[in-house]
Structure 1
Amino acid sequence: MSNNGFEFNLVQSEMIDADPSMLSASEASNHGISFQLTEQILGLIQRGDSFQKLVSWLPMTVAKQFDLRGCQIELYENQQQQAKLVGGVGDGWLGPANQSRPITQLWDLYKPLTQGTSLQFSSQCLGTKKPSDASLTWLGCPIMMRTTSLGNMWVLRSGQRAFDGTESKQLCRLANYVAIALHQTHLEQTIDQQQTQIRQLRNAKDEFLQLISHELFIPLGSIQLSAQTLERIFKDASWRKVPQRSTVLKVLSLLSQECRRQKQFVDNLITLMFPEHQKASEPVLMNLSEWLPSLLRTFTTRLEQESLKLSITIPQEPLLFECDVTQLERVITELINNAIKYTPAKKTVKITVKAIDTAVEIAIANTGVQIPPSHQPYIFEKFYRVPEIDKQQYGGSGLGLALTKQLVINLGGTIELKSTRQKTTFTVKLPK
């Protein structure tokens, strides 16, 4: 066969171990490849230098260390139908750099290379003026990434002396550093693309958050304000003789109440979906023994409406710890509302507070609906509802407990559930 002024004959073809491990000391000393060369190659890869820098530097270094006439690196394209020269030095049979050429005419040579087998042959350079330059020995080293051939490193030397088995293995191992560098380049490109996608998703999420705030919060606030204004007007003595005044007041009160509920739902949803956008308050030193009873007094009216009792056990001495009061208030409010919702009339909601080691423990317990053991692992998931519970009777969105857990995590604490036939208890532990 002949190509580009060369006439060549196949000498040998053998499978080369493509493991890109470091060269042994004996191999390095026998053929002049020092550990310094290997460390330089690995250093280029580990520093993240460009792939083009490696394929420009490696052929020159290999040609010098092995006293070669030329060294070229090519990569396959178009499903191994073409090859493109990406770096080289000295003589070779490949075309100009960065230009692709079909390999179908040389498929007998390229077939073993694409299968991970090295190829060695001799050639005669046609038309050369120096007889010493006419005889050449070639070695094709496949660039392997696992079981896939990405290209080849071609080396040639003057004369008929063949590359022995040790030389072939060393050169093929060096060729595989190109595969490592190429793989690293692809990883870096993938990371860059993923980071770009993440930025785009974050921007889209921010836009969605702004849309929710504008399209839901503002209209709900306007409706609530209008309802409250009309309610105040109709409560005035001058409107007492208006027909169906009491009915109008009830409707306005219900409308205002539903607006508050929907605003709370939207606020909970945003808190869960976009926790990074929530502005945390600065932790303050608080006395839980005074603060909690004050908060619980706001539930007096609702407890009376539901015919429920509230029992609280809390140390009389000051129970001091630092905490984000706003988030803690939301945690306690959600858990008490949840307890009131599922506690039968004339029963008691119990709250127990105590200090344990370096933490504060707040337990809120109620009787009523039991959470089956099979559902307890999922009770803090967003929108999760226990199928056996009557949704029409108890209502709710399935966000309350998910929000509570997120807020407790924000406070650096934990929340646990224990539910039996007699009692369901949520226990919050917060660091002092």
Structure 2
Amino acid sequence: MKTPWYSSLRWKMLFTFVLSIILALITAYLMLGLALFMYSYLQIDLLNVLFRALERMFGVVVPLIVVGLALFVGIYFLLNRKLIKSMEQITATVQRMADGNLDARCTVSTDDEIGKLADNINRMAEQIKLSLEEERLAERTKNELVTSVSHDLRTPLTSIMGYLGLVEQDRYRDEVELRHYTNIAYEKAQRLNVMINDLFEYTRMNGGMTLHTKPLNIVEMAGQLCVHYRYPMEQEGLAISMHSDEDQYWVEADPDKLVRVFDNLLTNAMRYAPRGSAVGIFLRKRGTRIMISVHNSGEPIPAHDLPHIFDRFYRVEKSRSEHSGGSGLGLAISKTIVELHGGTIEAISNQEGTYFVVEIPSCSVPLEGPSDRMT
């Protein structure tokens, strides 16, 4: 808000300047009257000698000017003592900030430019503090990422080198054991490849990714996913089904990125669902958002793990995840993609199984042209 003219610093200083002149003149007049009274009526010899000496040396005008200027300076500083104190306080606070104390704050609360300066300094210090905290967090996150990546890449790499070392040293009994060793090395290499690809995609997304969105019939996409996953599910002794309240639910989305989300969710469901059970995809509209749920009837996720399952490299069951080849990045990637679409993703787990629920804003039905099919 603009400062009223009468509250601005220039007008305050002009006012104190004029007031100082007026008060200096009044004070000088009173002092002159007092001096004349003392000279004329009190007849103090020492004062009479002093007055005559000053009059002979400087005349009458010069002493009056000197006294007037001294009075003006003294009164002017007296009237501006609050301003001077505010400037000293701001200077001291800025010095503490420069020394590294970003918690220091200016306590000046005037409604003029000095108050605005103090407020801007406080805001600048707060922004610098937040920037430094974000920088430290980013550095800590980077270090944690490097540590997690190093640990997770070292595990399969150690196995690969170990089993290939046995082959290199001919430490196997027959062709069957040789094939067993090479199969283990191959599986570990596949897991290493999945982890590297997931890590690359995760860092690329968090570095800023542009979505190529278009109107997409998500019911059609879910149907295609069911067809694609039917055979892998049957190989694992599972069934897959889709249930939708409508034939068409339209969203503005990047088809390739959204398919990646449900690839991750269906792969997880297939990994943890017990044999003989079914994996379900459920679609319905809630308000202005489309809700897509992926359900499996596997063991429930512990309550203390639920808040963290979308964190990168977080695994509910360490040994089970490593055995099944998970990178610990799939759900983190899914969460990033969904949030880029303006949606949300959450997990609900109980004795009936686990639901991964994705909500994405719906869009109007396009006038022409069907949505692209998955490739």
Q: Which amino acid aligns with 1:38?
A: S
Cα distance in 2, alignment partners of residues 398 and 410 from structure 1? 20
Cα distance in 2, alignment partners of residues 384 and 199 from structure 1? 22
2:343 corresponds in structure 1 to 413
CA positional deviation for 1:357: 4.2
Q: For the Cα contact (< 8 Å) 1:351–1:362, is it kept in 2?
A: yes
Q: For the Cα contact (< 8 Å) 1:41–1:177, is it kept in 2?
A: no
Matches within 5 A, 1:83-232: 129=58, 130-132=62-64, 133-134=66-67, 136-137=70-71, 138=74, 139-140=77-78, 141-142=81-82, 143-145=84-86, 148=89, 179-180=114-115, 182-184=117-119, 186-187=121-122, 190=125
CA positional deviation for 1:197: 7.5
CA positional deviation for 1:292: 2.0
Cα distance in 2, alignment partners of residues 265 and 366 from structure 1? 23
Query: Does the residue aligned with 2:310 lie in a helix, a strand or coil?
Result: coil
1:67 corresponds in structure 2 to 21
Cα distance in 2, alignment partners of residues 289 and 384 from structure 1? 31
2:218 corresponds in structure 1 to 288
Q: For the Cα contact (< 8 Å) 2:229–2:240, is it kept in 1?
A: no
Q: 1:323 to 1:299 in 2, by over 3 A?
A: same
Q: 1:182 to 1:326 in 2, by over 3 A?
A: same
Q: Which amino acid aligns with 2:17?
A: A
Q: 1:315 to 1:192 in 2, by over 3 A?
A: closer
CA positional deviation for 1:363: 1.0
Matches within 5 A, 1:346-425: 346-386=276-316, 390-395=317-322, 396-425=326-355
Q: For the Cα contact (< 8 Å) 2:222–2:242, is it kept in 1?
A: no
2:265 corresponds in structure 1 to 335
Cα distance in 2, alignment partners of residues 191 and 355 from structure 1? 43
Q: For the Cα contact (< 8 Å) 1:349–1:366, is it kept in 2?
A: yes
CA positional deviation for 1:345: 2.0
Tell me which moved more, 329-338 or 141-150: 141-150
| 1:254 aligned onto 2:187 | yes
Question: Normalised by the size of structure 1, how large is the TM-score?
Answer: 0.49
Pick the structure with more helix per residue.
2
1:38 corresponds in structure 2 to 7
Query: Does the residue aligned with 2:264 lie in a helix, a strand or coil?
Result: helix
CA positional deviation for 1:302: 3.3
- The structure, 1 or 2, with the larger RCO (C-alpha pairs under 8 Å, 6+ apart) is 2
Query: Does the residue aligned with 1:67 lie in a helix, a strand or coil?
Result: helix
Cα distance in 1, alignment partners of residues 109 and 18 from structure 2? 14
2:234 corresponds in structure 1 to 304
Q: For the Cα contact (< 8 Å) 1:145–1:176, is it kept in 2?
A: no
Q: For the Cα contact (< 8 Å) 2:241–2:279, is it kept in 1?
A: yes
Matches within 5 A, 1:242-281: 250=183, 254=187, 257-271=190-204, 275-280=206-211
Q: 1:66 to 1:327 in 2, by over 3 A?
A: farther
Q: 1:392 to 1:277 in 2, by over 3 A?
A: same
Query: Does the residue aligned with 2:21 lie in a helix, a strand or coil?
Result: coil
CA positional deviation for 1:199: 12
Query: Does the residue aligned with 1:371 lie in a helix, a strand or coil?
Result: coil
Q: 1:41 to 1:369 in 2, by over 3 A?
A: farther
Gaps of 5+ in 1: 1-21, 23-34, 43-57, 71-126, 152-172, 217-242
1:323 corresponds in structure 2 to 253
Q: Count the aligned residue pairs.
A: 274
Q: For the Cα contact (< 8 Å) 2:7–2:112, is it kept in 1?
A: no
Q: For the Cα contact (< 8 Å) 1:144–1:150, is it kept in 2?
A: no
CA positional deviation for 1:347: 1.9
Q: Which amino acid aligns with 1:267?
A: F
Q: Which amino acid aligns with 1:278?
A: M
Cα distance in 1, alignment partners of residues 202 and 269 from structure 2? 21
What is the root-mean-square deviation of aligned Cα atoms in Å?
A: 4.9
Gaps of 5+ in 2: 25-53, 93-107, 151-174, 363-375
CA positional deviation for 1:364: 0.7
Q: 1:392 to 1:38 in 2, by over 3 A?
A: same
1:176-207 Cα shifts (integer Å, max 9, x gaps): 95753552564586589689979999xx9xxx
CA positional deviation for 1:63: 1.6
Q: Which amino acid aligns with 2:320?
A: Q
Q: Which amino acid aligns with 2:210?
A: K
Cα distance in 1, alignment partners of residues 304 and 181 from structure 2? 46
Q: 1:255 to 1:391 in 2, by over 3 A?
A: closer
Cα distance in 2, alignment partners of residues 176 and 361 from structure 1? 52
Cα distance in 1, alignment partners of residues 129 and 240 from structure 2? 53
Question: Normalised by the size of structure 2, how large is the TM-score?
Answer: 0.56
Q: Which amino acid aligns with 1:371?
A: I
Runs of 4+ aligned structure 1 residues displaced above 6 Å come to: 173-176, 191-201, 243-249
Q: Which amino acid aligns with 2:190?
A: Q
1:72-131 Cα shifts (integer Å, max 9, x gaps): xxxxxxxxxxxxxxxxxxxxxxxxxxxxxxxxxxxxxxxxxxxxxxxxxxxxxxx99412
Q: For the Cα contact (< 8 Å) 1:309–1:348, is it kept in 2?
A: yes
Cα distance in 1, alignment partners of residues 220 and 109 from structure 2? 74
CA positional deviation for 1:290: 2.7
Q: For the Cα contact (< 8 Å) 1:341–1:394, is it kept in 2?
A: no
CA positional deviation for 1:397: 4.1
1:220 corresponds in structure 2 to none
